[in-house]
Amino acid sequence: MTNRQLLNRQPASAGKQWQGVLCALCVLCVAVMSTPCGCAVQQDKSSKGRWIKLFNGKNLVGWKVKIAGHKLNDNYGNTFRVENGILKVCYDEYEKFDGKFGHLFYKDKFSHYKLRVEYRFVGEQSPGGPGWAFRNSGIMMHCQPPESMRKEQSFPVSVEVQLLGGNGRDERSTGNVCTPGTHIVMDGKLVTRHCIPSASKTYHGDQWVTMEVEVHGNSIIKHIVNGQVVLEYEKPQLDEKDRDARKLIKNGDKMLSEGYISLQAESHPVEFRKVEILRLNE
pLDDT for the residue numbered 75:
98
For the chain, how big is the Rg over CA atoms in Å?
A: 27
Rounded Cα–Cα distance for residues 158 and 178 (Å): 9
**pLDDT 10s digits, 2-32:** 444 433 444 444 444 444 444 444 433 334 3
- Spatial separation of the C-alpha atoms in residues 113 and 155, rounded to whole Å: 23
pLDDT at position 8 is 43
- The neighbouring-strand residues paired with 140 are 160, 262
Low pLDDT (below 70) residues in the chain: 1-48
pLDDT computed for residue 40 by the predictor? 35
What pairs with residue 234 in β-bridges?
Answer: 185
Q: List C-alpha distances in Å: 244 to 10, 139, 143, 157, 180.
A: 87, 19, 12, 7, 10
Give percent above pLDDT 70 in the chain. Answer: 83
Residue 49: per-residue pLDDT? 78
What pLDDT is stored for residue 242 in this prediction? 98
Strands 182-186 and 136-143 come out as: unpaired
Distance CA(35)–CA(246), nearest Å, equals 51
Q: What pLDDT shows up at residue 16?
A: 45
pLDDT of residue 2: 42
**pLDDT tens, residue by residue, 33-83:** 433 333 333 333 433 479 999 999 999 999 999 999 999 999 999 999 999
Please report the pLDDT score of residue 281 as a whole number: 85
Distance of CA 1 to the CA centre of its chain: 73
Give the Cα separation of 83 and 74 in Å (integer): 19
Buried b (16+ CB within 10 A) or exposed e, 253-269: ebebbbbbbbbbbbbbb
* pLDDT given for residue 29 in this prediction: 38
Q: Do the Cβ atoms of 282 and 101 come closer than 8 Å?
A: no
**Cα distance between residue 177 and residue 187, in whole Å:** 15
pLDDT of 5: 43
127, 95 in Cβ contact below 8 A?
yes
Tell me the helix, strand and coil percentages in the chain, rounded to 5: 20, 35, 45
The pTM score is: 0.82
